[in-house]
Chain A
């Protein structure tokens, strides 16, 4: 059931043509019941080449062969989702208090949203919360965060596909990074192991890419919707895969993108793909391990996208309620 629906939702990236390019406008999403806001950047539709050329320095085989993708316009978060916002979702009490200070927001509709269990250890690992990217959430938790956003705002938000993520990261460029090929320039655009001092940083401190998105390279890696297959592009090239993304059917590995504060420059390249791994939950001593918290992935966060066309309620419901894989 989920597969059909997701193809429906996501195929709009390829088939939704009713919308002229450039008609989307960037906007700021207010978070009702709080003083928080989340900025969404309108991205134009267009064709792009996904993957990296064989000659790119640091390139891995899973980034090829390069292939053309047709993208429709969509919105993407200008910044990674921060703890400020994520904590409201994760801690119901915090949200209640925020709502009490901002009268007029109806908490009752939030009651049906599934929320994370309290983490046993501090998931920021002392790297800071206010203005800093939320980390260590599972892909399942990131999807449920989107469900929470929908319940609050009525706007359908979801995780980006790998294709959407790379399209947004490249922002019209074809070089290794959105600013060119020279890793020496990384310091202006990204937090990575060469300048992070061993911790993530507040979002948005570095220069944005050409489309105005910050921290697409570095700071924290970002969840996508896709199951990670090393040979996915090869299958696409052979025509064995028609869908624009790989739906998740098993727990590991899923695809994250963008590199982090803890990575070498090569991992931050626009085309670089990282598979999730069981070791990301290593420090969870419980059985079964949490569906909500990774515990050992202080380098993984996310940002959300909004497709131009809102899917049906049924499709949305299916998207927000994926079959719960054990230890997701």
Chain B
């Protein structure tokens, strides 16, 4: 088992393979999925690796709905579970993502975005699923959505995704783009001793005292695996703290608001951003995924030209890192949001900016990468 390795090691890997390394490091022992480009490499690597581990399970399901269903079941049975998909598959998963939010079942869904809508552009880069990741399922709910910039980051953010899922008893979505997932780079796989791994809290009280959806200080109740002696009811219906369906207004209100609060009150823990030359910038680029990589080069080139540019690379997309954006927009004249969609992230930036400075968009939806030059040109225009 890889977890036994004591020293870090270097490999030359695809972003997709780095996701698998990260998942295994984080303790993932269950993968259920259905192939779709450009995410299939994650599934294939899992198929090769998991059966070789002590209790790892890999199962190819009949569709993405079934994939989501199996990982929910596996997580209820105590496993750290994951699936990966792209556009159409992600759409199919939405009802069950809502179920996982409602039942507070931890799991990780990797979505390697492709162009859309519909079958769209299968192997071309896009970032069109930002708002679907946030609001794809029906109803009001909180959710955690992360992204990654490069291959090393794919590993790191997968570990983070599992940690958040377990810590907050929630599905976590890792949004990658095709460029990140299909780039091959040298990465370091850390020794398991060097990374922090979080596993869901287990109840310590006797079963008769246990309430599976109890209000706690952190808002996150402990979650035992099925079969451990804590018999309770999971349902997608709005439920009371014992898990039984309820429509009493006070119980509904408290159940739904706890589900929001358990994530929202930990903004400081969940919001990960990388700042690059942003301290004194007058022009701020807000980007994520492979676009942030182009933006970093563009910012450096702009600085050489005397333009005070900076970059905010969002690793957490939701809850939207409001604090981090607000902190830097103080000195800014312009914020530039380059993204491979028609403006799904710039909506969030505009909302937070609330008219304080100019927000410029740079959108590309032709299945091609946003180049450093495009971003630089836009920065030069001011």
Do A and B belong to a common assembly?
no
Residues of B within 8 A of A (CB): none
Residues of A within 8 A of B (CB): none
